[in-house]
Amino acid sequence: MPLPIADRRISQLYRTLETTNGKIDDAQALNILAEVADRSGLSAAKANQTLGTMTRDQQLAAIKRGMTAGEKADLVKILDQGSVKLDASARSFFEAVLGRPVQPPPPPVVPADGNLRVTGDQSNGLTGTARPGDQIEAINLSASPTGRLHTDDTTVIATADADGRFNAAKLTGDQAIKEGDLIRMRARHADGTTGDWVTVRATGLGRDSRNAEVAIFRIGLTENAGLIDVSNINASRQISEPGAKLQFTNARTGAKTVVTLNAEGSFDPGVKLQGKAGDTFNVAATDGTNNTDFALTVGKLQVPGADGAGTVDLIKDPALHRDELDASGEPRFSTKRFTGALFKDGVSMEDPIQGQIGDCYFPSAVAAIAYQNPQALEDAIADNGDGTYTVTFKERDWRSGSGFRDVKITVDGDLYARSWGGPLYGSSRGDKGEKTMELWFPVLEKAYAQWKGSYNAIGDGGHSDVVMQELLGRTGTSMGVREGNEAAVFAQIKKSLDGKQPVSAGTYGETQAARYTNTGVYANHSYSVIGYRTADDGTQLVKLRNPWGESEPAGNGSNDGIFELDIKTFNKLYQNLMYTTP
């Protein structure tokens, strides 16, 4: 039934909308209200035209001047009884004409591209719009360079409401937003896809006091044809915030070069400095607001390679473990270049030999993988043919849905070496010569140290299942071992090894060290599990390898670190199994 509207012109307009299932948007509202304003001295057509040029306050004044009691009653009917839908903004306009309380402002128009918009300043956090239900992800690019964060390692800070709004969302902890910070954001839609990145510079938070943070340990300087190449040795992470300027001052010549970082906070290809091997560069940075005169430096970098042999370091090496620094913090060992074949006779589980570093979990995991899937290791390490090697690790990628993403780390063949020339850290079984040692394992370990930050970062313990995961891109897991669950443990070993999954086993810590002395098994140590069998008398046996490549219980043949334990002894001495799931 048509809405009974007294005014003929308004009734005609409204009836048309009723019969066409139309709605009253801003334009239709203005048509109707022009009929109301026509008694203010203007024709309806003229009123409509004139209203369109006015501010909202002027429109309201003109309409109210021309509004009769009957028209007012008609507008009340349209608002309260009408079947034609009103847009929120049109409803708000009508309410204002009638002098009724104005409804909340209309919801924002959600951009058709699905990308978020940030509105206002950040005095109360991050506010803006996206699609309703979108998760809003953000990372503070000004606070993340020296952390182990990629530029897409975001945090979910809000969920857009039914109107597509998010309000006062905050980053916290180390990521807390300060004035001038660059905040990178995007919307993650319900289907898992994401909108484009949006980067905003924070305002409304007072004085900008945070200068550009610099991950100086990621800057690689390499002499190349009379110039110094500048690179990010971990290109998947930032050097500093996007747009930051770094000034490199050659301490020998005084020459200054200013480099502007790209949108990823890294170096564009081809950045070069004037200098030579052995030169030291003072590095200063500015974010464009702080330290614009580069008066404050963030550190020094030396171009490697000025040793007596004239060897030029190809890629900056990961720093030594702190155990190998002297009392004044200086390294007690230097590097030697190893130039042997990457693979001499393929990958063997007997190749990895742990060096003088507490990373037993690493060679244990690598040998376990070599036992089950040597090809995976050969595929992970590439000889670039220029004295460098690129190792592809796998890193959990929670956001893409694909599980893992590749992390490529490039290192050279320079290894920390003892005075007699052999490697200080991981080496290969057999020949340790600079020109003859098989390189795949020490290169792999060096790349792992490079990835994690230094040999110090990997040399205070860890988990073999994590290493397996980081090399194979399969989920690593562990199972508790204790006296009493021998059957379950043996079954798991059998299942994993039969399924071609690598397995390692860890012993207890030194608080229970007395149980190990004279057993041939060592406390707080990780062993590769490389077999199982059931003896003729029914005893279940587990075959293990010590990543030292030696030291084992008596009665196990040559001292190659490979030995068998019956399952009861195994369960007494070991506390966990670590393996990957298919």
Partner 1 sequence: MAKPPEPLSEVLPLAVWVVDAEVVEVISSGPQPPEPPLRDKQRADATSRNLNAPAQKVKLKVKRVLKGEAVKELVVDKPVAGYALKAGNHGPFLIDKSKTILGRYGPDTYNFGKLEAAIKG
Q: Tell me if 559 contacts partner 1 by CB under 8 A.
A: yes
Size of the site for partner 1 (CB under 8 A): 41
When binding is defined by CB under 8 A, the residue of 507, 528, 540, 571 that contacts partner 1 is 507
When binding is defined by CB under 8 A, the residue of 463, 474, 543, 545 that contacts partner 1 is 463
Burial 364-383 (b: 16+ CB within 10 A, else e): bbbbbbbbbbbebbeebbeb
From CA 558, how far away is CA 243, in angstroms rounded?
A: 60
Q: Tell me if 172 contacts partner 1 by CB under 8 A.
A: no
When binding is defined by CB under 8 A, the residue of 156, 204, 509, 581 that contacts partner 1 is 509
From CA 425, how far away is CA 434, in angstroms rounded?
A: 14
- Mask 61-100, x = binds partner 1 (CB under 8 A)? ----------------------------------------
Distance of CA 350 to CAs 122, 342, 371, Å? 58, 15, 8
Tell me the residue ranges of DSSP E strands in 36-125: 85-86, 117-119
Residues 468-497 that bind partner 1 (CB under 8 A): 478
Q: Measured from the CB of residue 469, what is the shortest distance to partner 1 in angstroms?
A: 12
User: Judged by CB under 8 A, which stretch of 71-79, 85-93, 439-447, 456-464 contacts partner 1?
Assistant: 456-464
Q: Measured from the CB of residue 575, what is the shortest distance to partner 1 in angstroms?
A: 6
Q: Tell me if 217 contacts partner 1 by CB under 8 A.
A: no
Reading the block at residue 413, the tokens are 């063949």
Which CB atom, from 402 or from 511, has the smaller least distance to partner 1?
A: 511
263 contacts: CB under 8 Å, gap ≥ 6? 242, 243
Which CB atom, from 249 or from 464, has the smaller least distance to partner 1?
A: 464
428 contacts: CB under 8 Å, gap ≥ 6? 351, 352, 353, 437, 438, 439, 440, 441, 442
From CA 373, how far away is CA 468, in angstroms rounded?
A: 11
461: left (phi over 0), alpha (psi -120 to 50) or beta: left
Which CB atom, from 126 or from 521, has the smaller least distance to partner 1?
A: 521
Q: Measured from the CB of residue 404, what is the shortest distance to partner 1 in angstroms?
A: 16
Which CB atom, from 204 or from 480, has the smaller least distance to partner 1?
A: 480
User: Judged by CB under 8 A, which stretch of 30-38, 100-108, 492-500, 513-521 contacts partner 1?
Assistant: 513-521
Reading the block at residue 397, the tokens are 């990628």
260 contacts: CB under 8 Å, gap ≥ 6? 243, 244, 245
Which CB atom, from 113 or from 550, has the smaller least distance to partner 1?
A: 550
CB count in 10 Å sphere of residue 85: 13
User: Residue with structure tokens 């669950």?
Assistant: 485
Q: Tell me if 513 contacts partner 1 by CB under 8 A.
A: yes
When binding is defined by CB under 8 A, the residue of 134, 179, 350, 359 that contacts partner 1 is 359
Residues 380-439 that bind partner 1 (CB under 8 A): 418, 420
- Mask 518-547, x = binds partner 1 (CB under 8 A)? x-x-xxxxx---------------------
User: Residue with structure tokens 């001295």?
Assistant: 41
Q: Tell me if 265 contacts partner 1 by CB under 8 A.
A: no
Identity of the amino acid at 535 = A
Identity of the amino acid at 427 = S
User: Judged by CB under 8 A, which stretch of 116-124, 279-287, 349-357, 482-490 contacts partner 1?
Assistant: 349-357
User: Judged by CB under 8 A, which stretch of 82-90, 330-338, 394-402, 501-509 contacts partner 1?
Assistant: 501-509
Q: Tell me if 517 contacts partner 1 by CB under 8 A.
A: yes
Q: In the sheet where 476-480 sits, what is the strand order?
A: 476-480, 574-580, 503-507, 526-534, 540-545, 562-566
Contact positions vs partner 1 (CB under 8 A): 354-361, 364, 418, 420, 459-464, 466, 478, 506-507, 509-511, 513-514, 516-518, 520, 522-526, 548, 550-551, 559, 575-576
